[in-house]
Amino acid sequence: MMTKRSVRRTAGVCLALGTALAHAHGTAHQHGVAKLDVAVESNRVTFELDTPLDNLIGIERAPRNDAERKRADAAVATLRDAAKLFGFDPAAQCRQQDVELTAPVLGLGAAAAPSEQGEHADLEGRFVFACADTARASQVDIGLFKAFPKLQQLDVQVAGPHGQSRQTLKRPANKLTLAK
Contact residues for Zn ion (CB under 5 A)? 52, 60, 120
With respect to Zn ion, which residue has the nearer C-beta, 15 or 176? Answer: 15
Query: For residue 147, how many other CB atoms are within 10 A of its CB?
Result: 16
With respect to Zn ion, which residue has the nearer C-beta, 23 or 44? Answer: 23
| CB of 77 vs Zn ion, minimal distance in Å | 22
With respect to Zn ion, which residue has the nearer C-beta, 44 or 150? Answer: 150
With respect to Zn ion, which residue has the nearer C-beta, 18 or 107? Answer: 18
Count CA atoms closer than 13 A to 130's CA, side-chain side. 2
| CB of 57 vs Zn ion, minimal distance in Å | 11
Helix (H) or strand (E) holding 69: helix 66-80
Contact 61/157 with Cβ under 8 angstroms? no
| CB of 120 vs Zn ion, minimal distance in Å | 3
- Report the residue closest to Zn ion, judged by CB: 120
Residue 73: DSSP 8-state: H
With respect to Zn ion, which residue has the nearer C-beta, 45 or 60? Answer: 60
Query: DSSP letter string over 3-67?
Result: --------TTPPPPTTSHHHHHSTT---TTEEEEEEEEETTEEEEEEEEETHHHHS-SS---SHH
- Our CA dihedral for 45, 94, 144, 119, rounded to 10 degrees, sits at -50
| CB of 14 vs Zn ion, minimal distance in Å | 6
| CB of 10 vs Zn ion, minimal distance in Å | 16
